[in-house]
Amino acid sequence: MTENPARTMDEPVEDVLRAELARGDAAAETVLPILRHLVTNADGTIFSEEILARVRSMLEHLVRQVLDVAAGAGEGGQREHEPGALDALEQAFVNNPALLSHLHALALEWQLTERLEGRLALDPVSPPLLQELLASSAPETQGLAMKFLASQARWCQAQRRMELPLRELPMELLHLAFLACRTLDLTEAYDGQTAAAEAVRSRFEEGGSRNGLAGRLIARMGADGVQALSICHAGVALFLTALAQRSGQTREAATLCLNDVQAARLALALRAAGVEAAGIEQQFFVLHPDIALPQGLDRVRPERAATILASGRGSPP
Amino acid sequence: MGAPGRGAASEGRGTVLARAVTDGDDRLLSAEEPLAGLQSRAGGEVPGVVMVPELLEIVRQVRQRRLPLGRAIWAQDGAEMITAWVEVEPRTDAEGCSVVLRSWRAVATAAEDAHAALERRNRLDRQVAELTARLDADQRILTVESECAELDLLTSAMATGRGRIVTEFIAAGGHDPARPLHWRLLDDARIKVEGSPREWRVVVIPQGRPGYEPSSFELLLVSDEPPGGLPHPEHGAGGAEGLGSQHLVGQDLAPVLRRPIARIVANAETIRTRLAGPLPDAYADYAAEIANAGRLLLGLLEDLADMEVVESEGFSTAPDNIDLAEVARQAAGILNVRAREKGIEIDAPSAAESLPAVAEFRRVLQVLINLIGNAIRYSPENSRIWIRLDSAGDCARVTVADQGPGLSDSDQGLIFEKFERLGRSGDGGSGLGLYISRRLARAMGGELSVESAKGQGARFVLEVPAGSHD
């Protein structure tokens, strides 16, 4: 039943019941497809309890931050919010596929980061590649590496607390978040939202976020960026950024292809990024020691690999 | 006998193991064992916010919705897993709830191996860390992050000192700060930070392949005390009580001693009840003695802390319009189980009675619990204790009368003195209860006195300013 007091107050009970009923029906329709997926998908990684809990928690944190800003508390301020406003905005965020898949990818990335830390003693914050970059003789590279290290440390701490600071969102998602808040027209308490949101957006510097810094760092490495395609050397964060950049995928898609059932996509992505067959085998040995690669990967040229990847669904172009 | 405290109507039949009462801020005002012990081992106090997470959740829901709720709760109690069934209902007299414990089962949890324990410790520390920093292999600062205002000075010093060795900023007594200290020595060091009144614990987590020198470090500052500004439930309201350093027992000693003693009691109880396995009777009896001695120590500790508070300069109470009859019914309800063990009946005011007064509810409850507790302790088995109300002009009076041995005139003069035991020993008293009770009564503008004759039982009379019926 509804737990949304803001709505029950100004809507007649029938409308509320009808809306609830529609919501219930929609949920019931999705039961079977979801169940079918969970039953047949032996590898439960991408929908594990942990991942779901992490996505939920990050969502809630984002909702609170957006409402804080809209209520004029500024970033970092904390306020009490109407449960109605919280629910409505959270629903809007869930209905936004771009935002949801971004959070899902972050949760998967952190899970892998923690696993590799436990299994391979891979430092989540300063992996070997980053330590090399920190010791670089080029001051710009060194400065960038230092900034990335600081933001990666902050990100890890936030992930451990299952949070995601607003400033870590990509620009277009931040925009969508505030747009949702405005569209919902959340009560008078959030009057000042436009000005406040503008203030946050104007201070926003995408290149300063963790993903932004990782992107700049990999781009600055140029051809040497291929070094980042060894996950044990580069760490999960830089590996994913490099894989995305060099195989022409979004970072979210690159993250998803580390999942067991996406082995073909990972092999193609690595090949498209310019990794030799031996290198691909090494990455598979780290990530999926039980999966054998098909012979002759070398014969698939990187450009061809990129084409297959882009055409999606494996069908010939 | 009269109504045994709140919630009598719905308690109905069935076993009641313990009762507890909470207020409008979900603070536990009073609790019987084993709830009180669980609360203290969970790091809480009585009075103090309910520290058992699941119980807190139920109490909060019941208080907000004002509907009764019965539910199973699980709690980790040291090496034990507790499963309990509690029934919580809103109080009718005030905000808050009354809690009835119906069942209690403790099962020993499997021991954790050292590695898992370390992992868990690291997780917890990272969760509560108020400053986090990364150091390179030579313990030079790479980054530092903190949102704690108390640590601003240190954070900015460390941020500008990037590339310098961390011990230059975090002093671990008697060490040359310019040289790195082995990380194992820095780990778990207790430090003071300029600008913060709290004590901080350094946590160093090495990174890198096991068996090799660490390639970098995570450094955390963790404090076991909450950030400043949170009022202590016991000392907060009074304001004038916050003369910190004077409260040696309450602020320094009691928090340190309470937990180990509670542990002794809990373990002794486990042995006594043979939860950990069969045992000869004699040993079970020893365990019972250990548990009793531990409880005595706990009681003494609470009394000493209370004494310190009532003796401090500027001690005051927070008077309110209260119903003395209600306080008396609650006190009787809380001690009913203990009385019944000795076959004693407590005759409390009936639900229809009321007597308005101006006093602090919690303090009056404390005095009455002390008076009734004494009466139970010194009364013969199968006797009766009466709680009577009357008003005399601008005074409201509660009388607690028993059928015990009574007091001679000379004893009556002595009994309110500090540590006065009248030659008794081994009965669980500290000799402070009546002294504290009289101080409390006087602080509320009232008086506590006794009328008795040897062999005639005792009548303790608590007087507080009368309130008005409205």
List, for residues A74-93, the tens digit of each pLDDT value: 555 566 777 778 888 888 88
Taking contacts as CB-CB distances below 8 angstroms, the residues of chain A near B207 are 121, 123, 125-126
High-pLDDT (> 90) share of chain A, %:
30
Interface A-B, measured as beta-carbon pairs within 8 A, has a size of 48
Mean pLDDT value across chain B: 82
Task: Give the residue from A147, A132, A160 showing the smallest Cα distance to A209.
Answer: A147
Using DSSP, state whether B399 is helix, strand or coil.
strand
At residue A43 the predicted structure's pLDDT band, cuts being 50, 70 and 90, is low
Over residues B371-427, the pLDDT tens digits come to 999 899 888 999 999 999 998 888 999 999 999 888 888 888 888 888 777 766 656
Model confidence at B137, pLDDT cuts 50, 70, 90, reads: confident
The residue in chain A having the minimum alpha-carbon distance to the alpha carbon of residue B123 is A160
Q: A157 φ, ψ to 5°?
A: -60, -45
What's the pTM value of the predicted model, to 2 decimals?
Answer: 0.58
B235: pLDDT strictly greater than 70: no
* Chain B contact for A233 (CB, 8 A cutoff): no
Q: Would you tell me how many other CB atoms lie within 10 Å of the CB of residue A206? A: 15
Measure B67 CA to nearest chain A CA, in Å: 17
A289 Ramachandran zone, left/alpha/beta (phi>0; psi -120 to 50): alpha
- Residue B10 reports pLDDT greater than 70: no
Residue A199, class by beta-carbon neighbours within 10 Å (0-12 exposed, 13-18 middle, 19+ buried)?
Answer: middle
- Cβ distance B147 to A76 less than 8 Å, yes or no, reads yes
A187-191, B1-5, B148-152, range with the lowest pLDDT: B1-5
If you average pLDDT over residues B211-226, what whole number do you get?
87
Distance CA A48, CA A43 (A): 9
Continuous segment of H or E residues that includes residue A36: helix A13-40
End-to-end CA distance of chain A: 49
Would an 8 Å CB–CB cutoff place A272 in contact with chain B? no
End-to-end CA distance of chain B: 29
Q: Has residue A99 got a pLDDT over 90?
A: yes
| Residue B227, C-beta contacts closer than 8 angstroms, at least 6 positions apart | B130, B148, B150, B198
User: Nearest chain A Cα to B146, which residue?
Assistant: A154
Residue A235 has pLDDT above 80, yes or no: yes
Whole-number pLDDT of residue B210: 77
pLDDT for position B228? 64
Exposed/middle/buried for B265, CB within 10 Å: 0-12, 13-18, 19+? buried
| Sheet with B69-77: strands ordered across | B48-49, B27-31, B18-22, B97-108, B80-90, B69-77
Contact A126 B218 (CB under 8 A): no
Report the complex ipTM: 0.73
The predicted pLDDT at position B184 comes to 80
pLDDT of res. B313:
76
By Cβ distance, the residue of A131, A149, A161 closest to B143 is A149
pLDDT of residue A149: 94
Q: What is the pLDDT of residues B60-95, one digit of tens each?
A: 989 988 888 888 888 887 777 888 899 999 988 888
Q: What percent of chain B has pLDDT over 90?
A: 20
What percent of chain B is modeled with pLDDT above 70? Answer: 87
